[in-house]
Amino acid sequence: MFCFDTKFLFSPQYSEVLASSVISSTNQALATLMDIWDGLGIKEEMRLQRIEEVRKHIEELFNRMINEERDMKDRIEKSIQFCQKQLKALSHELSLEEYKVDESLTILQIERDLRVRLEILAKQKNERLEELRILQQKDQELCSDLCVTPYYIPSGSIPSLVQIEELKEHIKVQAEEKRKRLQVFSTLRAEIRQCLGEMGRQAENSLEQDAICEDEEAFFLTPENIKALTVLKAQLELKKEALVSTLNAVKEKVLSLWDLLQVVQEEREACQIISGVSISEELRLWENELARLEELKMVNLKQVVLKIREELNAYWEKCFYTLEQRKEFAAYYCDDFTEDLLSKHDEEMIKMKMLYEKCKLILEAVAKWETSWTQFVILEKKASDPNRFSNRGGTLLKEEKERAKLQKLLSKLEEELKSRIDLWETEQGRPFLIKGSAFMDYVASQWELLKQQKEREKQDRTQKKEETTPFKTPIKRPAGPCSQSTPSSKNRKVSTPN
C-alpha cells in the first residue's frame, strides 16, 4: 500500500498518482490471473474469453461510475440554476442587489455557496414576514382605535427595509396620537362624570353612557368622538350653570322671604345646613322651603306688603327718586292688601333692584358726592358765621383745611361722574336722572342754592346790624386852634417846609 503525506493527499498530483496506481493494480491483477491460468493449463482460446470477461466487467464498472458522476454533475448544475433563480427572486422581493457568483470557484463550491446564500435569504424573508405580521397587527389595532387608515403594504409582497422602518415610524406616530387622545378622553370623561354627579343625574343617552363607561376600548378615539365629548361637556356645564343659577335664584327668594316674614335664626340655620347632596337635591330642598314660605307669605299678606314697602323706600332713596317718581307706583298708597297688590309690589321691587344693580357704581358715587356736599354746606355755614373768629385751639384752621379738601373732592367727583354718566347715557340711549334732573344740572342747582342762601344770610346779617345800631347826631368841632394838648409821653412830628 501507498502511504502519502496529508499535504500531498489534497494536492493536484495525488489524483494522477492514484490513477497510475489503479492501472498498476489492474495490470498486477491480470498478471496474477495469467499465472493462475498457466498453472491450470488453460488454453489460449479460453484465456481470451476470460480476459474478455474481465474487460467487460471493468468497462461496465467504469461506465456505471461515469454515468453516476455525470448524473451528479447534472444535478449540481440544475441545483445551481435553481438556486440562482431562487436567489434572483428573493433578492428582488427583499429589495437586495442580485447575488454574483465567484467565477473562480468550482461547480461544487458554487453550488454550496449558492445554497448557503439561498438559506440566508430565505431566513431573512421569513423573519421579515414575521416582523411585518407583528407590526401590522399593532398598526391595525392602533388605527382601529383611532379610525384611521393603516400603513399600506401590498398584500403578498415582501416589505423592504425602508417600508419596515416607515411602518415602525407610522406605529410610533399613531401610538403617540392615541396617547394624546386617550389623555383628552380621560380628562373629558372625568369632567363629565363630575358634572353629572354634581347635578345628581344619570347618563340619558348613548353618548353620555359611552363617555362614562369604564371600558376605554369601547370608545373609538376619533376626532369626531372627541369633539362630541367636548360639546357634551360644554352642554352639561351650561345645564349645571343653569341649575346653579336657578338654585341661587331660589335661595335669593328664600332669603328675601325670610327677611320679610322675619323667620327666626334657628329655622334659617336648619335649612342652610345642607352638605353632601347634588345640586338637584339641594334645589329640591330649597324649593320646598320656598313653597312653605310662599304659603306663609299669603297668610301674613299685610305684613309682607308693608315690609316690601320699607325695602322700596330704601331703594328709592338709593336711586334718588323724587316724590313724583314714587307716586307713579300707585299701588304703594293702596290699603287693600290682596295677592294682586303683593304681586305688584314684588314686580316693583324686582324692577328697583335691577335698576340699582345696573347703576350701582354711579349711584354709589352720587351718594358719596351727596355726603361730601352735605359736609361742605355745613362748613360753608360755619365759614359765614361772624362768631367763628372767637374759636380757639386751631378749630378755624382745621375747618378751613377740611372745607378746601371737600371742595377739591367735590370737583373731582363731579368730573368722574360726568364721564361715567355720559358713557352710560350713550350705551342706554336715555338720560340718567338724579331727583328728576340731569346730574350736572342738579349739581349746578345745588351750587346756585348755596350761593343764594349765602346772599340771603348776608342780607339778613346786614339788615339785623342796621336795626340794632342807634342813630347819632353829628357834633360840630369848635373854631380856632385845638385846645386839647398832646400827651407828654408822645411827641407829634411836624413837617417843616424845605
Closest CA to 198 of 241, 161, 167: 241
Mean pLDDT of 481-491: 40
- 3-state SS, the chain, equals CCCCCHHHHCCHHHHHHHHHHHHHHHHHHHHHHHHHHHHHCCCHHHHHHHHHHHHHHHHHHHHHHHHHHHHHHHHHHHHHHHHHHHHHHHHHHCCCCCCCCCCCCCHHHHHHHHHHHHHHHHHHHHHHHHHHHHHHHHHHHHHHHHCCCCCCCCCCCCCCHHHHHHHHHHHHHHHHHHHHHHHHHHHHHHHHHHHHHHHCCCCCCHHHHHHCCCCHHHCCCCHHHHHHHHHHHHHHHHHHHHHHHHHHHHHHHHHHHHHHHCCCHHHHHHHHCCCCCCHHHHHHHHHHHHHHHHHHHHHCHHHHHHHHHHHHHHHHHHCCCCHHHHHCCHHHHCCCCCHHHHHHHHHHHHHHHHHHHHCHHHHHHHHHHHHHHHHHHHHHHHHHCHHHHHCCCCHHHHHHHHHHHHHHHHHHHHHHHHHHHHHHHHHHCCCCEECCEEHHHHHHHHHHHHHHHHHHHHHHHHHHHHHHCCCCCCCCCCCCCCCCCCCCCCCCCCCCCC
**CA–CA–CA angle 429, 431, 436 (5° rounding):** 155
Mean pLDDT of 112-124: 87
Mean pLDDT across the chain, nearest whole number? Answer: 80
pLDDT band at 496 (very low <50, low <70, confident <90, very high): very low
Q: What is the pLDDT of residue 214?
A: 62
Closest CA to 342 of 302, 312, 378, 396: 302
Does residue 131 have a pLDDT over 60?
A: yes
Does residue 213 have a pLDDT over 80?
A: no
In tens, the pLDDT along 338-396 reads: 888 888 988 999 998 998 888 888 888 888 888 888 888 887 777 666 665 555 555 67
Least confident span in 93-102, 113-122, 245-254, 321-330? 93-102
Mean pLDDT of 470-493: 44
Does residue 6 have a pLDDT over 90?
A: no
Residue 430 phi/psi, 5° resolution? -155, 160
Q: What is the pLDDT of residue 56?
A: 92
Mean pLDDT of 52-56: 90
50 in Cβ contact with 33 (< 8 Å): yes
Does residue 268 have a pLDDT over 60?
A: yes
Mean pLDDT of 178-193: 85
- Look at phi and psi of residue 425 and say left if phi exceeds 0, alpha if psi is from -120 to 50, else beta: alpha
Note the pTM of the prediction, 2 decimals: 0.45
Looking at this protein, which amino acid is placed at residue 322? T
Q: What is the pLDDT of residue 386?
A: 61
329 in Cβ contact with 309 (< 8 Å): no
Does residue 9 have a pLDDT over 50?
A: no
- Look at phi and psi of residue 200 and say left if phi exceeds 0, alpha if psi is from -120 to 50, else beta: left
Mean pLDDT of 100-111: 82
**CA–CA–CA angle 182, 187, 189 (5° rounding):** 90
Rounded-to-integer distance, Cα 250 and Cα 245, Å: 9
**With pLDDT > 70 as the criterion, what percentage of the chain qualifies?**
86
The residue ranking higher by pLDDT, 76 or 220, is 76
In tens, the pLDDT along 426-481 reads: 888 888 888 888 888 888 888 888 888 878 877 877 777 666 665 555 554 444 44
Does residue 257 have a pLDDT over 90?
A: no
pLDDT band at 1 (very low <50, low <70, confident <90, very high): very low
Least confident span in 165-174, 257-266, 269-278, 476-485? 476-485
